Amino acid sequence: MVSHSAQLPEDIASGDRRTPVVVVAGLHGDPAGSAGLVAGALGAAAGTVVVCHDLAELGEGIVRRTVHHGGTVTVSVHELAHGCVSCTLKADLLPLLCTLAARDSVDRIVLALDPAIEAESVCQGIAEVVVAGVVGRVDGPAARDVRVAAVLTGLDARTWLASATGDEALDELGWAWADDDRTIAQLAVGQVDFADALVITGSEAVDPLERARLGAVLARLVPLAPALWAPAEAAITPDAVENLLRRIPAGSRRGRVFDAHAPLLRGQPPLGPECGVELVEFASRRPFHPERLHQALDALLEGVVTARGRVWLATQPDEVVRLESAGGGLRIGGAGRWVAAMTPDERAEVEPERSAMAGLRWDDRFGDRDSSLVVLVHTADPDEIRAALDRALVDDAELRLVERAPRQVARWPDPFGERHTDPCDPEEPHPAATGEGRGGDTGERARKEK
């Protein structure tokens, strides 16, 4: 039986008896950071277990796990055959969730994530990764036993925006346990973008204009997420955090992972400018010339918090290209095929929402192919971004070639067939071809030059 102290309203309404999981993320993994304070506040509820993984020794194949439950703290050390974040999820965290969910004394689980672990990868693992070998349990995803009730992200108003718009790689910042090429901006933006609610500390030490600018960015990045602005650590109380959970609206994602075809303006964010912050929408029914788009991408790496969307490349007419940027880091990767390029059997497997949207924009020549991007700027000129992307589109003569001579167009030089950083390295394969990168289909393409 789930006690009301740890149960969210939607659990009662839906009758879902799986153990709720609250995921807590943030750049500050130490106990003094906001994420640690949030997890501690949630742990005060009866029947709540708080699980923390310390990845500081991940490079040596060691993970330290701490479990807080009913005033008892248990610390254990785990050795992994392959020291990586993915192995930590598969070998320890997911089986642990299944084990805890089976206990009558556990009403709720709080995952206080190490800053190197992204909530999105955890939620995707819960939904998709098969957990095997748990005694008394049939093999299958952890989602059979637990449900993601909410994702909370803690951030520091004094430092988050600078992190979210920077270009430093995690290893350059001394994050030796971060086993990939992510930047601090990709981590900071990803943590907030995936959040259902925010806890913001340090705002009392920030200039009012900077606080307003931060608020404008957050309102456009996660418009549905309620925020607890905590002027002091003492404001992060159990009552305040539990009330924040109750304020999360029904339309929040709660662990859902969206693909490149999901709506880009989720939650109806403000579209007008505020404190220099603005959402720039770009859409086109003609493809990009790959070399000109490569040149235009510089406009997305300066004065921009994030950009995301799908791209139609003239040289890759069958493939949807996914674009995601954060600060000075940008990822380009494959995201499946256009509906127009699918076989009848493949089309039958397409989600109804995507099929409906494809039908609404169907073109007799090119089907559902299009490009659609949303760019969140904080100091960049929106008109310059639109102009740079417009110049990268194929012109009328090139469009006729796209329609009538696709094999000829496929021989155009295409920088997106290779992985590189600025300055370009044409010898290294692009992750879109190798399956590397977050989610298995993306990889870092470029970082702006320092």
Give the CATH number for residue 371: 3.30.1220.10
pLDDT confidence band for 4 (50 / 70 / 90): very low
Task: Report the amino acid identity of residue 155.
Answer: L
- Cβ neighbors of 243 (< 8 A, separation 6 or more) are none
Q: How far apart are CA 303 and CA 277, in angstroms?
A: 10
Question: If DSSP codes are grouped into helix, strand and coil, which group holds residue 341?
Answer: helix
Q: Is 259 within a domain? A: no
Q: Do 107 and 210 sit in the same domain of this protein?
A: yes
Q: Do 287 and 421 sit in the same domain of this protein?
A: yes
Q: How far apart are CA 253 and CA 238, in angstroms?
A: 23
Q: Is 365 within a domain? A: yes
Q: Do 64 and 196 sit in the same domain of this protein?
A: yes
Q: Do 318 and 438 sit in the same domain of this protein?
A: yes
pLDDT at residue 54, rounded to an integer: 84
Q: Domain boundary at 246, 266, 293, which?
A: 246
Greater confidence (30 vs 176) lies with 176
Backbone torsions φ then ψ of 355, nearest 5 degrees: -60, -40
pLDDT at residue 177, rounded to an integer: 58
Under 8 Å between Cβ of 332 and 430: yes
Q: Is 57 within a domain? A: yes
Instruction: State mean pLDDT over 55-76.
Output: 86
C-alpha 100: how far from its chain's center?
26
Task: Report the amino acid identity of residue 61.
Answer: G
pLDDT at residue 88, rounded to an integer: 75
Question: What region does 430 belong to: left with phi over 0, alpha with psi -120 to 50, or beta?
Answer: beta
pLDDT in tens, 375-384: 999 999 999 9
Q: Find residue 48's DSSP bridge partners.
A: 108
Greater confidence (162 vs 449) lies with 162
Residue 224 has pLDDT above 80, yes or no: yes
Residue 302 has pLDDT above 80, yes or no: yes
Residue 146 has pLDDT above 90, yes or no: yes
Distances (CA, A) of 370 to 62, 174, 175, 284, 299: 46, 41, 39, 6, 20
pLDDT confidence band for 122 (50 / 70 / 90): very high
Q: Find residue 447's DSSP bridge partners.
A: 329
Q: Do 282 and 236 sit in the same domain of this protein?
A: no
Q: Do 207 and 340 sit in the same domain of this protein?
A: no
Residue 12 has pLDDT above 70, yes or no: no
Q: Given the DSSP bridges, would you call strands 371-377 and 278-284 parallel, antiparallel or unpaired?
A: antiparallel
Question: If DSSP codes are grouped into helix, strand and coil, which group holds residue 47?
Answer: coil
CATH of the domain at 55: 3.40.50
Q: Do 195 and 236 sit in the same domain of this protein?
A: yes
Greater confidence (358 vs 422) lies with 358
Q: Do 364 and 228 sit in the same domain of this protein?
A: no
Total number of domains in the chain: 2
Q: Is 312 within a domain? A: yes
**What is the residue whose two structure tokens read 């559902």?**
368
The half-sphere exposure of 43 on its side-chain side, counting CA atoms within 13 A, is 22
Instruction: State mean pLDDT over 324-342.
Output: 92
Q: Do 188 and 301 sit in the same domain of this protein?
A: no
Instruction: State mean pLDDT over 317-325.
Output: 94
Distances (CA, A) of 55 to 83, 91, 421: 9, 14, 27
pTM: 0.86
Instruction: State mean pLDDT over 268-274.
Output: 94
Q: Do 295 and 170 sit in the same domain of this protein?
A: no
Q: Is 258 within a domain? A: no
Q: Is 392 within a domain? A: yes
Instruction: State mean pLDDT over 279-299.
Output: 96
Q: Do 325 and 201 sit in the same domain of this protein?
A: no
Under 8 Å between Cβ of 38 and 166: no
Under 8 Å between Cβ of 399 and 286: yes
Q: Domain boundary at 202, 228, 246, which?
A: 246
pLDDT confidence band for 450 (50 / 70 / 90): very low
Under 8 Å between Cβ of 28 and 35: yes
Residue 240 has pLDDT above 90, yes or no: yes
pLDDT confidence band for 263 (50 / 70 / 90): confident
Q: How far apart are CA 390 and CA 387, in angstroms?
A: 5
Q: Do 314 and 427 sit in the same domain of this protein?
A: yes
Instruction: Please state which of the ranges 137-146, 165-174, 238-247, 421-430 shows the lowest mean pLDDT.
Output: 421-430
Indicate the Cα dihedral angle 23, 36, 331, 324, nearest 10°.
Answer: 60
Q: Is 408 within a domain? A: yes
- Cβ neighbors of 266 (< 8 A, separation 6 or more) are 223, 224, 253, 258
* Closest to 182 measured CA to CA, from 358, 173, 122: 173
State the CB neighbour count (10 A cutoff) for residue 233. 13
Question: If DSSP codes are grouped into helix, strand and coil, which group holds residue 411?
Answer: coil
Q: Is 77 within a domain? A: yes
Under 8 Å between Cβ of 63 and 80: yes
- Cβ neighbors of 118 (< 8 A, separation 6 or more) are 25, 187, 190, 191, 194, 438
Angle at 31 between CA 26 and CA 32, to 5 degrees: 85
% residues pLDDT > 70 (the chain)? 86
pLDDT at residue 190, rounded to an integer: 93
What mean pLDDT is reported for the chain?
A: 85
Residue 42 has pLDDT above 90, yes or no: yes
Interhelix angle 119-128/94-101, rounded to 10 degrees, is 60
Q: How far apart are CA 70 and CA 47, in angstroms?
A: 7
Residues of the domain holding 303: 278-447
Instruction: State mean pLDDT over 68-87.
Output: 81
The stretches of 349-395 forming alpha helices (DSSP H) are 352-360, 382-392
